[in-house]
Structure 1
Amino acid sequence: MTFRAVERRPLPWREPLAAAAGLRERDGALALISDGGPLGRWSFVAGDPDRVIVEPMEAGLDRLRDPDFADGVVGLLAYDAGARPATGPRPSVWPDLMLARYPAMLAFDHESRQVFAVGRGDDPRAATAAADLAEDWLAAAVEPVTPSPPADSLDPEAPPAAYEAAVTDVVARIASGELFQANIARAWTGRLHPGADPFDVLLRLAGRSSAYGAYWRLGDRALVSNSPELFLTLDGDRIETRPIKGTRPRDPDPARDAGLAAELRASAKDRAENLMIVDLMRNDLARAAVPGSVEVERLFEVEPLPTVHHLVSTVVARAAPGVGPADLLEATFPPGSITGAPKHQAMKVIAAHEPSRGPWCGSLFHIADGRLTASVLIRTAAFDRDGEGWRFRTLAGAGIVADSDPAAELAETEAKIRALREALTGP
């Protein structure tokens, strides 16, 4: 049943995390928590989806061409689904695609400090009822309390030496001309304490919030993300992507911290790594864009986050006539920043060194009011519930190029996993 009516009802401001805390026990609980910065103006909180679909990627993306999934939709594409044409079949650790449609949603405009109860339905009466439900959620908001660390340990799946050996192998492959760059990751696993749940991890990340923070729980699966990276937006005919390549840790001393940012900005290695992915994303966007419309809007900007500095570029384009969210995702997934160049070969090399990634480095996306926003699922932990409680898995990677040093790349993964490690196990 297509949403034919939408009601938006202004309400007094409450913090989105408080509204999310009131819904944390509901199946389908969703919180897209932004930091209120230039890229994170809006946050969204919802529950009670009326449609949930878990399918292979190809069939699932076709759903996005159905008018029933044109609005109020959240989806998750697992990395392995997009890599499969290069890697062949691999053990599955997460569904290819999860989709949920939300008739009721709370939208938080951080810039104007205004909340909107959004109701969607097949007629105005249904839309009003959904807006009523969203307003009730805001009234039931609970001031969140930061819990104690919900896990004792974050255990590496392989020793650090194995990662350094993988980096050495990729550098050799680059030297032989097999590829130019590949993003190689390490994985960690663990279990939450009895009685703890993934929402506790989101609460502990609140002080480190980023533009694309997220919590989503469907059944016995949950995801917590603190991603700073935009994969795609499609707004009207404007496409934008913001690949991240290049990282330095933050330092509590302001002078040393500024020096690290300047070092990143001037680094020939990191700029070359970033430029390779910019070129890859230009090529990917061209598959869905008006010829000649792909442009690099900003190049090599240093963005500071709570635990790292990142080097970020922005590529834009105009969508070709008839291109919608499904077409754009098909043309570009998985993100170039977490694969490498050439993309197809990089995914083969990644598969030679890593088990299945699952949702990590896939994409979480939101379609509402004609706009697609999709993040890259870095700084992300995936949770599965069994008879003993919640177990989790998370990864961190680094882009490997010709002059990569294995020890330095290992240190980069430690810097990138720091925020999640502290959220899970404490400082």
Structure 2
Amino acid sequence: MIPPLESVETRVHPWRDPLAVAAGLDRRDGALALLSDGGPLGRRSFVAADPDWIGGEGGLDQLRDPALSAGVIGLYAYDAGARPATGPRPAIWPDLMLARYPAMLTFDHQARTVSVTGRGVDAAAAAQAADRAEAWLTQAADLVPPPPPAAAMAPEAPPQAYLDAVADVVARIAAGELFQANIARAWSGGLHPGADPFDVMLRLAGRAAAYGAFWRLGDRALVSNSPELFLTFDPVDRRIETRPIKGTRPRHPDPARDAALAAELRASAKDRAENLMIVDLMRNDLSRVAEPGTVAAERLFEIESHPTVHHLVSTVTAAARAQTGVADLLAATFPPGSITGAPKHQAMKVIAAHEPPRGPWCGSLFHIADNGGLTASVLIRTASFERVEGRWRFRTLAGAGIVADSDPASELAETEVKILALREALIGA
């Protein structure tokens, strides 16, 4: 039985750089950094270490335990959600990783404050946890960008294989098998001896996204620079929100050309249709846990600009039915519709016909906060790491949504744009 942490102590301190604080903890087991860009979608960052409980083998039902209602981080791998459609496949990553953090730092980018939170079975234990978190603020490290931690990232299949996969999906769409599928390419490699996954996080610092993350558990680690929200859930007003991304253009150094690319994306009938398909899919997913009549597309086809790409983003909301919890939400909506396709079940079967297992990529990293609220990202722009015989190996992917009028060469080029930031973080320009 997991002991509940019913006592909480909170202290407020002046602002510190969350990445610098995370750098002081990066080699500790369980080191965690949820690093936002401080923008409207990522007001808060979180840093923690030393979880008091690690699990996940029991699946999503573990999240129904009241002892896991706050201070919990989880990683739900794509393949776990896809398996009902794909059938058994080799497991390259645990289906679900969970950890509970009695001590955590919350960085409010707008208020410029740091909240120290300690949780415990009683007031004394909560105070001790707060003391530990408070000490982390004094251990912040100087931020010195390291050299590229890897020499190469090798494609796991030649470009022609991706071109052929896109052409096959377009043919399946023409035959009426499905409307859209997200098809990805993978790259892998090894870090230099002595290099660490956190080096990649440091090298991404200038390209912060709303849902940046670093997480280390044992011989596994994750680095994510995701701009995409999968789900938020506020248990007080029961509001659920999802913000699927569909539609991409590269950034351009010339401001006029850059603005023209954004305008082109906003006006693109293909990209708007692709986005709308996923909006409809997410509306359907949310309806499984929503009060009837509350699912709504609040905003459609907004442009979000990031360091290397422009994205087309829509916002879907709903009011959750009474007694709906985190496990129910994830079970109803996972994997995210934006990285599967429509219809979702058939799209996942088609994806499996062209890709090996994805592992954590395009799964979700989620945080259950003090009030039981959920924030879950889509793990795009993400690299996973595994330590093998003392050296870190990495794997990363990039995909594109394939629709009826997709051009294979253009979709291949889109994957290169999407992988650019991680490529430069891993191996340099």
Q: What TM-score, normalized by structure 2, do the two folds share?
A: 0.98
Partner of 1:413: 415
> Could you tell me whether the CA contact under 8 Å between 2:244 and 2:314 is conserved in 1?
yes
Which consecutive residues of structure 1, in runs of 5 or more, have no partner in the other structure? none
Query: Residue 400 of structure 2: which of 362, 375, 398 is its match?
Result: 398
Partner of 1:387: 389
Partner of 1:322: 323
SS of residue paired to 1:64: helix
Question: What letter corresponds to residue 121 of structure 1 in structure 2?
Answer: G
Deviations 1:368-419 (A, max 9, x none): 1221000000000000001150000000000000000000000000000000
SS of residue paired to 2:70: coil
Distance in 1 between the 2:24 and 2:323 partners? 40
Distance in 1 between the 2:146 and 2:175 partners? 50
Distance in 2 between the 1:149 and 1:364 partners? 25
SS of residue paired to 1:40: coil
> Could you tell me whether the CA contact under 8 Å between 2:247 and 2:272 is conserved in 1?
yes
Partner of 1:302: 303
Partner of 2:288: 287
Counterparts of residues 38-57 of structure 1 (less than 5 Å): 38-55=40-57
CA shift, 1:123, in A, is 1.2
Partner of 2:30: 28
Distance in 2 between the 1:229 and 1:415 partners? 16
Question: What letter corresponds to residue 329 of structure 1 in structure 2?
Answer: L
Distance in 1 between the 2:111 and 2:117 partners? 17
Partner of 2:333: 332
SS of residue paired to 2:24: helix
Question: What letter corresponds to residue 60 of structure 1 in structure 2?
Answer: G
Partner of 1:14: 16
Partner of 1:224: 223
Partner of 1:278: 279
Which consecutive residues of structure 2, in runs of 5 or more, have no partner in the other structure? none
Partner of 1:180: 179
Cα root mean square deviation, aligned: 0.6
1:195 aligns with 2:199: no
Question: What letter corresponds to residue 248 of structure 1 in structure 2?
Answer: R
Mean CA deviation greater in 237-246 or 383-392: 383-392
Partner of 1:98: 97
> Could you tell me whether the CA contact under 8 Å between 2:56 and 2:62 is conserved in 1?
no
Q: Percent identity at matched positions?
A: 76
Question: What letter corresponds to residue 249 of structure 1 in structure 2?
Answer: P
Deviations 1:150-204 (A, max 9, x none): 0011110000010000000000000000000000000000110000000000000
Partner of 1:361: 362
Q: What TM-score, normalized by structure 1, do the two folds share?
A: 0.99
Partner of 2:134: 135
Partner of 1:120: 119
Distance in 1 between the 2:130 and 2:144 partners? 27
CA shift, 1:54, in A, is 3.6
CA shift, 1:124, in A, is 1.2
SS of residue paired to 1:23: coil
Deviations 1:344-383 (A, max 9, x none): 0000000000000000000000001221000000000000
CA shift, 1:25, in A, is 1.0
Partner of 1:423: 425
Partner of 1:242: 243
CA shift, 1:60, in A, is 2.0
Distance in 2 between the 1:60 and 1:349 partners? 25
CA shift, 1:331, in A, is 0.3
Question: What letter corresponds to residue 118 of structure 2 in structure 1?
Answer: G
Distance in 1 between the 2:366 and 2:124 partners? 28
Which portions of structure 1, spanning 4 or more consecutive aligned residues, are displaced by more than 6 angstroms? none
1:267 aligns with 2:231: no
Partner of 2:349: 348
SS of residue paired to 1:14: coil
CA shift, 1:420, in A, is 0.1
Mean CA deviation greater in 194-203 or 4-13: 4-13
Distance in 2 between the 1:113 and 1:12 partners? 7
Distance in 1 between the 2:147 and 2:255 partners? 29
